[in-house]
């Protein structure tokens, strides 16, 4: 049974769960199960599958459907499950959303179609029709680096009036934009504002944001949950201490290598070291070469977050 995310708006850490694969055609169900429990033990407030961190667009539809079903079953209602349905084809988005609804997911998340560049009016119409036809509530996903389309503030404001649109996940990395959203929705706290980049999690929440879709929470969920709570309570001393651990992860793990997908390579290598998955990335993305993998192996135990995770 789905939760009513409208009455009880989403708050906190909703990790974009990494998709653990045995290879390009098989889900790592054992690993996924272990990961889900790891996230829940860390106290996350929801789980978002098939986001950018989840390699959404690169895996086959068959695997996407399997992942949706498996995750919903494993989570079993303990936290809301959000399912990414971003697609260039409207029809395929609806199909995935149907699978999500049937599996018991609580909401879907969608970025604009990303092959053709869309005009602002086309973006607006797209999300209105999507929200009309979806069997689940929708969170907007602003991801201009990947979709080439920035959701303008006006577009988000207009869309927020749709009864089936519950919030925005902003991965633009533009703090001016995010803070403008916080200001624009100052009287509508039921519209959820989540930030993508974890390096901005604390500052966004301090300014009035509602949480984060933090990739690093796949490794160290409790760290991000604690940072969220510290920021939410305004405990600046805790924020400073935990933010340093988050920035250290960013510098040491995601900053290795120079690919656009270095973040994903670093994350999956680290998760492998930590015991979650075999490090496989869906083709055409590829895991780190051995040398960089060894580098990750050496760096990881020296991270502040590593011991933080251990002794929690």
What is the per-residue binding string for a second copy in 38-77, x denoting contact by CB under 8 A?
Answer: --------------x---xxxxxxx---------------
The residue to which tokens 């539809």 are assigned: 61
Stretch that binds a second copy, among 159-167, 211-219, 235-243, 270-278 (CB under 8 A): 235-243
Where in 74-103 is the site for a second copy (CB under 8 A)? 88-92
Stretch that binds a second copy, among 12-20, 67-75, 252-260, 271-279 (CB under 8 A): 252-260
Euclidean distance between CA atoms 183 and 177, whole angstroms? 10
Task: Check residue 145 for interaction with a second copy (CB under 8 A).
Answer: yes
- Cβ 296 vs Cβ 267: under 8 Å: no
Does an H or E element contain 7, and which?
none
What is the per-residue binding string for a second copy in 1-20, x denoting contact by CB under 8 A?
Answer: --------------------
- Structure tokens belonging to residue 211: 């949480």
Q: What is the smallest separation between the CB atom of 176 and a second copy, expressed in angstroms?
A: 4
Residue nearer to a second copy on the CB measure, 80 or 215: 215
Task: Check residue 289 for interaction with a second copy (CB under 8 A).
Answer: no
DSSP 259-291: STTHHHHHHHHHHHHHTSS-----TTS-PPPHH
Residue nearer to a second copy on the CB measure, 113 or 266: 113
- Structure tokens belonging to residue 82: 């959000």
Euclidean distance between CA atoms 254 and 169, whole angstroms? 21
- Cβ 222 vs Cβ 43: under 8 Å: yes
Task: Check residue 25 for interaction with a second copy (CB under 8 A).
Answer: yes
Residue nearer to a second copy on the CB measure, 40 or 175: 175
What is the per-residue binding string for a second copy in 105-144, x denoting contact by CB under 8 A?
Answer: -------xxxxxxxx--xx-xx--x---------------
Q: What is the smallest separation between the CB atom of 116 and a second copy, expressed in angstroms?
A: 6
Task: Check residue 157 for interaction with a second copy (CB under 8 A).
Answer: no
Among 22, 150, 157, 175, binds a second copy (CB under 8 A): 175
Number of alpha carbons in the 13 Å side-chain half-sphere of residue 34? 14
Task: Check residue 217 for interaction with a second copy (CB under 8 A).
Answer: no
Strand pairing class (192-195; 138-142): unpaired
Task: Check residue 190 for interaction with a second copy (CB under 8 A).
Answer: no
The residue to which tokens 């633009």 are assigned: 172
User: What CA–CA distances, in Å, run from 164 to 116, 139, 232?
Assistant: 25, 9, 26
């Amino acid at each position: 049974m789905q939760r009513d995310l409208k009455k009880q708006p989403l708050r906190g850490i909703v990790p974009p769960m990494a998709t653990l694969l045995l290879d390009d055609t098989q889900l790592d169900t054992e690993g996924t199960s272990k990961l889900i429990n790891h996230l829940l033990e860390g106290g996350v407030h929801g789980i978002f599958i098939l986001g950018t961190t989840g390699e959404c667009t690169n895996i086959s539809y068959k695997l996407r459907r399997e992942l949706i079903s498996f995750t919903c079953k494993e989570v079993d209602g303990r936290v809301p499950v959000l399912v990414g349905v971003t697609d260039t084809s409207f029809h395929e988005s609806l199909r995935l959303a149907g699978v999500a609804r049937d599996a018991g997911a609580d909401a879907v998340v969608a970025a604009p179609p990303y092959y053709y560049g869309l005009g602002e009016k086309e973006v607006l119409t797209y999300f209105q029709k999507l929200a009309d036809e979806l069997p689940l509530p929708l969170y907007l996903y602003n991801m201009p680096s990947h979709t080439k389309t920035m959701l303008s503030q006006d577009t988000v404001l207009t869309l927020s009036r749709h009864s089936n649109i519950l919030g925005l996940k902003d991965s633009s990395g533009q703090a001016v934009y995010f803070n403008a959203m916080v200001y624009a929705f100052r009287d509508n706290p039921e519209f959820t504002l989540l930030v993508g980049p974890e390096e901005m999690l604390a500052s966004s929440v301090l300014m009035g944001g509602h949480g984060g879709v933090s990739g690093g929470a796949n490794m160290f969920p409790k760290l991000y949950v604690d940072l969220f709570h510290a920021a939410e309570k305004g405990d600046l001393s805790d924020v400073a201490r935990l933010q340093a651990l988050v920035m250290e992860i960013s510098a040491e793990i995601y900053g290795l290598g120079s690919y656009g997908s270095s973040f994903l390579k670093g994350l999956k290598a680290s998760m492998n070291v930590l015991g979650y998955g075999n490090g496989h990335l869906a083709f055409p993305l590829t895991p780190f070469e051995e040398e960089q993998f060894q580098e990750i192996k050496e760096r990881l135990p020296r991270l502040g977050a590593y011991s933080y995770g251990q002794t929690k």
